[in-house]
Amino acid sequence: MLDARTYPDKSVVKFAEQVVPLKIDCDQQGKIADKYGIQGTPTLLFLDENGKVMGSFVGFHPPKEFIDESMKILNSKKKK
């Protein structure tokens, strides 16, 4: 659903210009999934420049909710 409805949305594409999006197949990259404790998909992680998890959310989110949740995480980093 994210691939079909959320990621192609123009507002999400525009939002993605301010981050470095990376999609990982947890079956193929099990070590990465283990490192970050991913137990279900889709799991969206936001990492800082040092690889530390700033925040995450799990499951399908429609475009507006996806951007709102993402911005909460990114803005929490700016406040610190």
Q: Per residue in 11-36, pLDDT tens? A: 999 999 999 998 999 989 999 999 99
What tokens appear for 63 in the block? 């475009």
Superfamily name with CATH number, domain 2-79: Glutaredoxin (3.40.30.10)
Phi, psi at 28, each rounded to 5°: -85, -30
Geometric angle at alpha carbon 66, from 9 and 27, rounded to 5°: 90
What percent of the chain is modeled with pLDDT above 70? 96
> What pLDDT does 77 receive?
72
By residue count, the chain amounts to 80
Residues 6 or more apart from 6 whose CB is under 8 A from it?
A: 12, 60, 61, 62, 63, 66
pTM of the model: 0.85
